[in-house]
Amino acid sequence: MGNLIATRPPQPWTAPTASDPVEATLRLPGSKSMTARALVLSALASGPSTLAGPLRARDTELMAAGLRAMGAHMSISDDERWLVRPHPLVGPAHVDVGLAGTVMRFVPPVAGLADGRITFDGDPQARTRPLGPLIGALRSLGARVDAPATGSLPLTVLGTGRVTGGEVVIDASASSQLVSGLLLAAPRFDRGVVVRHVGPPVPSAPHLRMTVQMLRAAGAAVDDGTPDVWVVEPGPLTGRGWEIEPDLSGAVPFFAAALVTGGEVTLQGWPRSSAQPVEQLRSLLQRMGGEVTLSTAGLTVRGTGVVHGLDADLSDVSELTPALTALAMLADSPSRFTGVGHIRGHETDRLTALAREFAALGADITESPDGLEIRPRPLHGGVFETYHDHRMAHAAAVAGLAVPGIELSDVACTSKTMPEFPALWSAMVTGKS
């Protein structure tokens, strides 16, 4: 299990309760996953790139700052359009990873390509997140990495301006980011990379497909035709314009509000062809009682006010677990979620945290090693600890739609991926958008 670290600010935020069906049309910030990958690929490209509609949040600003510290030129003052101009990467530099898995797993492989000493550290909780497989892989590919025996932060990459690359075996069952981090930098390795995963299944497969898709869009030659093997050939990356999609994971609490209240929520700006797992989300929300449609207006979810329980393997879409757990609390039948044991190593141990906080509100919820079982019954208000975890805050907000008096200990943690969340959520529930 991961560590649960709780800090309670003096003024909790009370989640608004919906008295009517929500009716909202929203334009949400860009995808964190796409923004992070575009920043890395742009910093390693042979020419300038632009990011249209990027996510401005703590995680992506830390990513930009880390790459800038090593020499990449980042112009991110315009919220709608960021400009990245690649430049030779050099140390000494320090990268603050905060609590961002993308920064702690995507930037160390880039640091191996820098000429100089690059140090990494972050929030106290970041030192509990698993990096051992990545550290071992980088060492076997020719990078010099100094790190604790625990395989965690703080660590130092002693870059020489090049990484040999080649074949590496890794157990990425804790996070698909361990593979994505290697693949994103691999075109710049002397020999590219062949990554072979051994161990339990890699979670969040759609994120790996996004990595491969974006690498190809930047001109990289990638072969992912063999299960659990990824081959990236050495070669230049092309600077380009990136169109960042709205963040699907961040939209899920808002879509959940449509199901809970029998309302309708539309996410504007949704592309016809998406790099995110929209079909998996569509299936899950439909099974829970929603109607999901894609039109020129955007991605729309409608609810009836009745939520159904479900039995689902969420291994591909584990980021959705907290919001779906909140929905399951309000369902008309039990639910069982499996395949998400790896989220114990996210911002907090999400399975234990969800079970603990919802139980404190009267829920009948049981942890298993890789999931949760929920048997709905009436909940009551109370303080809901968020553990510095934006997804925990989202879960509490969803439950608060139907349960008066749920107070989030720290709604500000949503700034990790969506600083606008409290204002957008309150405007949606009150209808004063």
**Cis ω before 124 (30° cut-off from 0):** no
The verdict on whether residue 204 carries a ligand-binding annotation is yes
Rounded to whole angstroms, how far apart are CA atoms 31 and 333? 32
Rounded to whole angstroms, how far apart are CA atoms 186 and 167? 11
The verdict on whether residue 209 carries a ligand-binding annotation is no
The verdict on whether residue 37 carries a ligand-binding annotation is yes
Q: Are 257 and 263 in contact (CB under 8 A)?
A: yes
Three-state DSSP class for residue 69? helix
The verdict on whether residue 32 carries a ligand-binding annotation is yes
Give the residue from 408, 55, 72, 52 showing the smallest Cα distance to 237: 72
In single-letter form, the type of residue at position 363 comes to A
The verdict on whether residue 356 carries a ligand-binding annotation is no
The verdict on whether residue 272 carries a ligand-binding annotation is no
The helix (run of H) or strand (run of E) holding residue 397 is helix 390-400
**What is the β-pairing status of strands 155-160 and 145-146?**
antiparallel
347 is catalytic: no
The verdict on whether residue 125 carries a ligand-binding annotation is no
The verdict on whether residue 319 carries a ligand-binding annotation is yes
The verdict on whether residue 101 carries a ligand-binding annotation is yes
Q: Are 221 and 238 in contact (CB under 8 A)?
A: no
**What is the β-pairing status of strands 115-121 and 155-160?**
antiparallel
The token duo for 406 is 């749920």
The token duo for 33 is 């996953």
Q: State in Å, rounded, how far the first CA of the chain is from the last one.
A: 40
Residues 6+ apart with CB under 8 A from 10: none
The verdict on whether residue 431 carries a ligand-binding annotation is no
Rounded to whole angstroms, how far apart are CA atoms 327 and 399? 7
Q: Are 426 and 16 in contact (CB under 8 A)?
A: yes
The verdict on whether residue 286 carries a ligand-binding annotation is no
Q: How far is residue 346 from each of residues 255, 305, 311, measured CA to CA in Å? A: 23, 31, 23
Quote the strand ranges of 162-262, DSSP E.
166-170, 193-197, 222-223, 229-232, 241-243
Give the residue from 207, 179, 205, 398 showing the smallest Cα distance to 313: 205
The verdict on whether residue 81 carries a ligand-binding annotation is no
| Residue of 245, 319, 347, 357 with catalytic role | 319
Rounded to whole angstroms, how far apart are CA atoms 191 and 378? 59
The token duo for 398 is 């969803």
Q: Binding site membership for 3-phosphoshikimate: which residues?
A: 32-33, 37, 175-177, 204, 319, 346
Q: Binding site membership for phosphoenolpyruvate: which residues?
A: 32, 101, 129, 177, 350, 391, 416
Q: Binding site membership: which residues?
A: 32-33, 37, 101, 129, 175-177, 204, 319, 346, 350, 391, 416
Which residues carry out catalysis?
A: 319
